[in-house]
Structure 1
C-alpha cells in the first residue's frame, strides 16, 4: 500500500493516514488479515512523528477497522465482504454524510452532480475490488 499525504492540507496527517487506509480497504488493495507497517515504520517511511502514526492507528482500531496485537502488529480486521456493519454505525455515518453533503451544497454543487459523484465513487470501489488481486 502506498500512502500519499498532503502536508499542506488543513486535514490533520493522522486523519489523512486513516482515510487512505480506509480507501485502500474499500478499493480491495488491503483485505481482511492484511498486515500494516508498524507505527514506527510508518512514521519513519512518511518522515512524521511516531505519535501521529500511532494516533491514526488508534483511530482505526477504535472504529473496528484494524486490530493491534503485540505479536502480529496492526492487521486489517474488516473488509467490505466481512458482514453487516456494527449496530449504530449507519446512523453515525449518515450524520457525517449529511455534513459532507451540506458542505458541497453551501459551495454551490448542484444536487444532481452530488448524486452522480457519489455513484461514481461507489462504482470505483466496486471496479477496483473486481480488477485487483488482493494483497496478502
Structure 2
C-alpha cells in the first residue's frame, strides 16, 4: 500500500496517517502481524517531524490496532479477520458514525445517497458487504494527492 497525506489539508497530519493506516487494515493491505515503518523512517519519507508519526502510531495503539515496542517496532495487532471488536468499541464507534452521517444529512444528502455512499466505501474494503449496486473493491476509496511513502507488504516503497 501507499500512504498518502496532503500537507495542505485542514486535517492534521497525524490524523491523516492514522486514517490511512486504518483504511489499509480494512482493505487488507496491512494484515495482523504486518510491520510498519519506524517513526523516524516514515517521518523521513514524508518529510515531517517524527513526533507527528509517533502521535499517529500511539493513537492506533490506544485503539488496539497496533502493538508498539522497541524491539519489533509498530506491528498491526488487529485486522478484519481478528474476530469481534473489543468490548465498548461498538458503542463509541456508533456515536462517531452518527455524527459523520449527520454531517452528510446537514449538507443536504438524502438517506438514499448516504446509504449508497456508505455501500461504496464498505465495498472498497473488499469485505463483500456491499450495500449499493455497482460497488466493489476500489470504488470510492480516494486518498489525497501528495506525499507518498511505501508501507505494507511491498518492498522498498512498492505498493503492496
Distance 1:128 1:135 in 2: 18
1:82 and 2:100 matched? no
Distance 1:22 1:82 in 2: 14
Q: By how many angstroms is 1:135 displaced?
A: 3.0
Structure 1 unpaired stretches of 5+:
none
- The total of aligned residue pairs comes to 132
Partner of 1:12: 12
Q: By how many angstroms is 1:5 displaced?
A: 0.6
Match runs of 1:13-92 below 5 Å: 13-92=13-92
Distance 2:12 2:109 in 1: 25
Match runs of 1:79-118 below 5 Å: 79-118=79-118
Partner of 1:135: 153
Distance 1:36 1:20 in 2: 12
Detail structure 1 runs of 4+ shifted over 4 Å in the superposition: none
Moved more, 119-128 or 1-10: 119-128
Tell me the TM-score normalised to structure 2 length. 0.79
Structure 2 unpaired stretches of 5+:
127-135, 139-151, 155-160
Q: By how many angstroms is 1:128 displaced?
A: 4.4
- Cα deviations by residue, 1:78-121 (Å, 9 ceiling, x for unpaired): 00010110101000000000110111111111110000111111
Tell me the TM-score normalised to structure 1 length. 0.92
- Cα deviations by residue, 1:56-82 (Å, 9 ceiling, x for unpaired): 000000000000111111000000010
Distance 1:9 1:135 in 2: 27
Distance 2:137 2:3 in 1: 17
Higher relative strand content: 2
Higher relative helix content: 1
